[in-house]
A and B are shown apart, each in its own frame.
Chain A
Amino acid sequence: MSKLFMARNPRVAARALDGEMMIMSAKDSTLFTLNRTATILWQSADGTTPLEEIVQNRICTEFDVEASAALEDAEKLARDLAGYEILQISDTPIQQGKGSGDSR
């Protein structure tokens, strides 16, 4: 499996509310809420850390899951979030513009 890198789409609005991440798409104002795993992906999506490392360091430490299965699920989730234009994904590191936003 090749490496996958994720960056937050700078065109979305986001805020954590009671531990749940609210995301609004600037494209069509659709509102999403992210579950805990998706929130971890969002918060860790800095464009340079490979998904494999995020799964190892953030997901496997929080949930009792086997690494390879977790990576497979996380990759599917990342692609879904990219489909909604919440995340940008690439097999090479992603350069983020000035002020890519905090993750609060």
Chain B
Amino acid sequence: MSGLLEEMTEKALKHNIPLSVQVDLTYRCNERCVHCYLDHHDHGEMTTAEIKHLLEEMAEAGVFILTLSGGEIFLRKDFFEILEYARRQLLFCVKLKTNAILIREAEAARIRDLGVESIQISIYSHRPEVHDAITLVPGSLKRSIDAVRFLKSQGLRVILANVLMVNNAQDYKGVRALADELGVECTLDPTITPMMDGDRSILSLNVEHSALREVFRDKGLVGDVDDFCSIAAPATEDVLSSTPCSAGHTTCYVSPYGDVFPCVQFPLPTGNVRKQRFIDVWRHSERMNDVRSIRLKDLSTCTSCTHVSSCTRCPGLAYMEGNMRGPSSQDCEKSFARTGVPSANMLAKKRHAPNLIQIQALSAPASATA
């Protein structure tokens, strides 16, 4: 984060302003990614007028960075109408998340004209047979890469987003090389999240410990490996009094149905913009304020963990495990893979694990006689 943006974020935190919001325009999609956490059926998306009204309320509330995502945003026939309103009328800094397979030269030119800040495109592998087997759409890698070239030729900032899973665990270096060849940025996310309805079956796609360990020791990704993998110094009082992440503090998420959540990975409904003003949900929702009240020192188990000051613990994932103040096991696994030291949560689980083999002393038969 740049120094100035950090300063603005501090100011937004102080004044309780939602500086950055993600709005999913639709959950419909033209890909069927094996790891996706969404239900792609349309259960009553907000209309164009409802979205424009929401954007006006968000601008009024002080939202500066607007991320438009989905589902696949280009499946909305009114997408450019919404984008134009967000940029030209309300002056948001707009970021897009898309699979880009519907972006051709004309769409790329229009995105450029509207001054979009960046376009993040999901790419799972540099090999069509791997990428297309994840999206379940033959030819999707080629179409997405063609779109990257169209966008790049317009001078736009493009970021390849690579989600790591068992299906593509060996390909992240190939994706990075592809990004270099295309002259674009690349991010890597090694976390598969549960479905929004709580179904955890897709978590089996998470990469194994050894693959995660390898990723965390890749100099090209983490820079100074020794520093990245070192155990953090014990948490100070300041660290323990800090907030776990920006969810509910300077950021939030709005679904295509108008539900407001602290974050896209935190499915705790806090209100609905079809029934309430956005700013009222942001400021007065009891649930939002509950999320906002969490400090590192309040966390059960994690407060005493070696990794508390360096852990990437996601409160949304913890919530999906049953307690927003509890540990997020997936982040425990990451801290373990990074440092080799198990988390307090992992040790506690081990202590309470039932013995698989129960050995009991044989008592002597009462009526035994010589």
Contact = CB atoms under 8 A, between A and B. Distances in A.
- Chains A and B bind each other: yes
B91 A13 contact: yes
B117 interface: yes
Nearest to A32: B4
B17 A17 contact: yes
Contact of A11 (B2, B60, B63, B115): B115
A100 interface: yes
B351 interface: no
A16 B12 CA distance: 11
B89 A102 contact: yes
Interface residues of A, number: 24
B11 A31 contact: no
Interface in B323-343: none
B12 A17 contact: yes
B11 A101 contact: no
A31 B90 contact: no
Interface in B70-99: 84-85, 87-94
Contact of A29 (B15, B84, B157): B157
Nearest to B60: A104
B62 interface: yes
B93 A24 contact: yes
B93 A17 contact: no
Main secondary structure of the interface of A (DSSP, over half): loop
Interface of B: 2, 4-5, 8, 11-12, 15, 17, 19, 59-60, 62-64, 84-85, 87-94, 115-118, 157
Given A22-B64, A26-B116, A15 B89 contact: no
Contacts of A104: 59-60
A22 B8 contact: yes
Nearest to A8: B91
A99 B90 CA distance: 9
Interface in A44-68: none
Contacts of B17: 17
Contacts of B118: 29
- Which one of B60, B62, B93 has the greatest number of beta carbons of chain A within 10 Å? B93
Contact of B90 (A17, A26, A33, A102): A102
- Which one of B60, B62, B85 has the greatest number of beta carbons of chain A within 10 Å? B62
Contacts of A102: 59, 89-91
A81 to B, nearest CB: 15
Contact of B64 (A15, A32, A97, A98): A15
